[in-house]
Structure 1
Amino acid sequence: MFETAARRYAKYRVYRITLTELAALSDRELNDLGLSRSMIRGLALEAAEKFAEA
């Protein structure tokens, strides 16, 4: 049970860190990466899911 909670928390941390870092970028920086602000949440979720699979 503790292991499951630890994995969930680690996944949540990856989501929050990714979300925070992408949100801190300017619109111009996001555009340079080929991203839009509306994509940030989905990308953070994707990063967390990939982390959970590893």
Structure 2
Amino acid sequence: MINTLIRKYNSWQQYRRTYDELSRLSNRELSDLGIGRGDIDYIARSHHR
């Protein structure tokens, strides 16, 4: 049970890091990467799986 909690916490941390990093980019920078601002949550969730 502890291992599950640790894994979920680590996964959440990775999601937050990815989300925060992408959120800091300008719309122009996101566009250069082919990412829309509305895609950030999906990408962050997909990244940590």
Unaligned residue ranges in structure 1 (runs of 5+): 50-54
- Structure 1 residue ranges (4+ consecutive) displaced by more than 3 angstroms after TM superposition: none
TM-score by length of 2: 0.95
Partner in structure 2 of residue 43 of structure 1: 43
CA distance in 1, matches of 2:47, 2:7: 14
Partner in structure 2 of residue 33 of structure 1: 33
Residues 1-54 of structure 1: CA deviation (Å, up to 9, x unaligned): 1111000000000100000000000000000001110000000000121xxxxx
Give the aligned CA root-mean-square deviation in angstroms: 0.5
- Is 2:5 the counterpart of 1:15? no
Unaligned residue ranges in structure 2 (runs of 5+): none
